Amino acid sequence: MSPPRRKDSGPKFQSESVKTDIRSPLTTAQGVQIPDNHHSLKAGPRGPTLMQDFILREKLMHFDHERIPERVVHARGAAAHGYFKLYKPLSQFSSAGFLQDPAVETPVFVRFSTAVGSRGSADTVRDVRGFSVKFYTQQGNYDLVGNNMPVYFIQDAIKFPDLMHALKPEPQHEMPQASSAHDTFWDFVSLMPESTHMLMWLMSDRAIPRSYRMMEGFGVHTFRLVNPHGQSCFVKFHWKPKLGLHSMAWDEAQKMAGQDPDFHRRDLWDAIESGHFPEWELGVQLVEMGKEAELGIDLLDATKLIPEELVPILPIGRMVLNRNPDDFFAETEQVAFNPGHLVPGIDFSNDPLLLGRLFSYADSQLSRMGSPNFQALPINRPACPMHHFLRGGQLQASVHRERAAYEPNTLASGTEFRVDGATQGFQSCPDVLESGKLRQQSASFDEHFSQATLFWNSQSQAEKDHVVAAFCFELSKVKSKEIRQRTVDNLAHVDMKLASRVAAQLGIDAPNAVAAAGRLGFKHHKMQSQLQEAPSLSMIGRYKPDISTRKVAVLAANGVDMIAIKRVIQELTDAGLQCKVVAPQLGHVGTASGRTLAVDFSFGNTSSVMFDAVLLPGGVACADALCRLGAALHFALEAYKHCKPICAINEGVLLLGSLGFSQSQQKDTALTVPTPGVVIADSQKAIEGQISQTFIEAMLEHRHWDRVNLDSVPA
């Protein structure tokens, strides 16, 4: 006979299933009720975050260890080695050694990434991109850990786990992958008005870059530069690509994810392998201490930027990536960035999002690598001499022969070794802290919409159309009508026309600005933008005259007239473009002159999304064959719909016949450009070299977003 069961005298534990009662108060993992889940503990409203904030530390620590072994965020990445070279000394602003001598090339390792998706996700999803640079300086490693957008969703690091929980695939079914188009994300951001500015960037073309090489980078946060005299100024960091700032069409980006999910990774690798080394210019916005309030924004607020029109960017140097990794795992996967990796001459501001990252990054790397010795891995090891007393730990690879593993000591060399903190190494900027401990933010953080409106007002009409389309696509995937309505009501604070256009497409009620304004958290503050428009926030008109490495598809079939386009292809190649022949099958096609032409791709293994422009050569038999091939017609029409430059010679224009183009347009005495980015000409003009420059000029614009009636194009 079994003994009677003892009654439980302690707490009951749920080991099988945990279901939270949403009516219960929010607590820590130890059951302590949380008084405020929105603000970390600071020394004053604009003071530094305090390490004693056990609520913040528990939340970040648990979030950082949720996934192993890939990164919780920015898991999908590509990287390269290179160097940074200064233009002129910056000693008046910073004592950082790598900012002193223009003759010195500082080695760098740069990792680009998407933020939301797993390691196996596609490159071309709509997402914020990571842009992180590790400088191997002679004073130690300096990490500039940023994104391709200058602002972020939240103002305080304590909300980061909530943001990512909402943004990641929903936990009940692990869908959708690498996408923000679902209920939990839009539920969260619609309740967090501080996210509005970042949403405008995420729904813009910035979220679908053409390549990593054509993408800007930003430090996001406000940092401080400190000169040799201890004087400091605020600084924002900017990376500007040499090839200009370019994006994809949304339809193109989605198709690219299926055609080549590694498109951005492959593009970066191929460019470096072929000797077309990507370059960026590093610039800084400098704000004198004590003058920051004059800007009308709080520099400690990561949801705000400083428009270039208010504080111009000072170019200070250039970065060149000239070597691909030898081992993806050992380098790209094991590289460990941390915004807390500073060198003398650069310091933090009291940005509460930045200060929380200092804990989170180190903790995340410890979880991923399994040992505090990850900093000794080759890709993370400093290039300068090291001397420290860090000992032991899993995967310790160094054999320390010193007897003394502490400081101060007299045993290591027979004389006293002691660190003189007053004169040696990194010196933190002194700050006077006068406020008591509290959980709140400065009132200057409360204005959430003026910069979102500034961004909207600064976009071209085509860019505005893309933003509207992006909101409509994302919100159409949201099942909750209440969330869709709440988001549209929020957009009314940005621009009523924007909100109304989105509402109309979703078939929901017109935005109710009064209702939105009455909800908790929608505050307006006297600190608002001094500008109505800022041209620097638009991608239009910021293109650079460099089209090297762009890819041109030459559509061909038997009977292609190569004599007419031979000079065009040669001049395009001389300009740095890559011309690839696409035909019905691999191998060769016969030309109109009886020769053969090698084929690079077939219509079965590539598509227009893999190219930047299309050349349609003449030849009666060639045009007839292609016009009877649905894949060829779709190729040409799809390129047109994605606003890519197209050049049609003689009968080649027949592939665009359904768009209203005809051979009669080629009889004009001058080159015909009947619609933006479409060049139509006859063979004689091609032979005489009159076409190439016009076609190149069309490609310098990258995309011709001002084409009309694209919805009617059957592609």
Q: Which residues are catalytic?
A: 74, 147
Q: How far is CA 102 from CA 98, 253, 384, in A?
A: 9, 40, 19
Q: 42-43 and 437-438: which strand pairing?
A: antiparallel
Q: How does DSSP assign 680-691, residue by residue?
A: EE-HHHHHTT-S
Q: Is the Cβ–Cβ distance between 430 and 408 less than 8 Å?
A: no
Secondary element (H or E) of residue 598: strand 596-599
Distance, in Å, from the CA atom of 271 to the CA atom of 261, rounded to the nearest integer, reads 17
Secondary element (H or E) of residue 322: strand 314-323
Q: Which residues make Cβ contacts (< 8 Å) with residue 220, sequence separation at least 6?
A: 146, 147, 149, 150, 151, 152, 302
Which residue type occupies 224? R
**Residue that has been written with the tokens 């020394």 in this structure:** 43
Which residue spans within 87-193 are E strands per DSSP? 105-114, 129-137, 140-147
Distance, in Å, from the CA atom of 414 to the CA atom of 409, rounded to the nearest integer, reads 9
Token code pair at residue 694: 């016009």
31-42: string of b/e by CB count within 10 Å (b at 16+)? Answer: eeeeeeebbbbb
**Residue that has been written with the tokens 């990850």 in this structure:** 374
Q: Which residues make Cβ contacts (< 8 Å) with residue 343, sequence separation at least 6?
A: 96, 97, 98, 135, 137, 139, 140, 141, 142, 426
Neighbours of 508 (CB within 10 A): 17
Neighbours of 585 (CB within 10 A): 11
Q: Closest Cα to residue 96, out of 374, 275, 284?
A: 284
φ, ψ at 341 (rounded to 5°): -85, 95
Q: How many helices (H) and strands (E) does the chain have?
A: 17, 21
Residue 233, SS3 per DSSP: strand
Q: How far is CA 508 from CA 86, 500, 709, in A?
A: 54, 10, 25
Q: How does DSSP assign 253-284, residue by residue?
A: HHHHHHH-TTHHHHHHHHHHHTT---EEEEEE
> Using CA of residue 431, residue 437, residue 441, residue 443, what is the dihedral sign?
negative
Distance, in Å, from the CA atom of 26 to the CA atom of 34, rounded to the nearest integer, reads 6
**Residue that has been written with the tokens 């951005």 in this structure:** 264
CA angle 236, 149, 122 (to 5 degrees): 145
Neighbours of 384 (CB within 10 A): 13
Describe the crossing of helices 496-506 and 481-491 by its angle, rounded to 10 degrees. 160
Token code pair at residue 391: 């000992």
Q: How does DSSP assign 548-580, residue by residue?
A: TT-EEEEE--TTB-HHHHHHHHHHHHHTT-EEE
Peptide bond into 511 cis (omega under 30): no
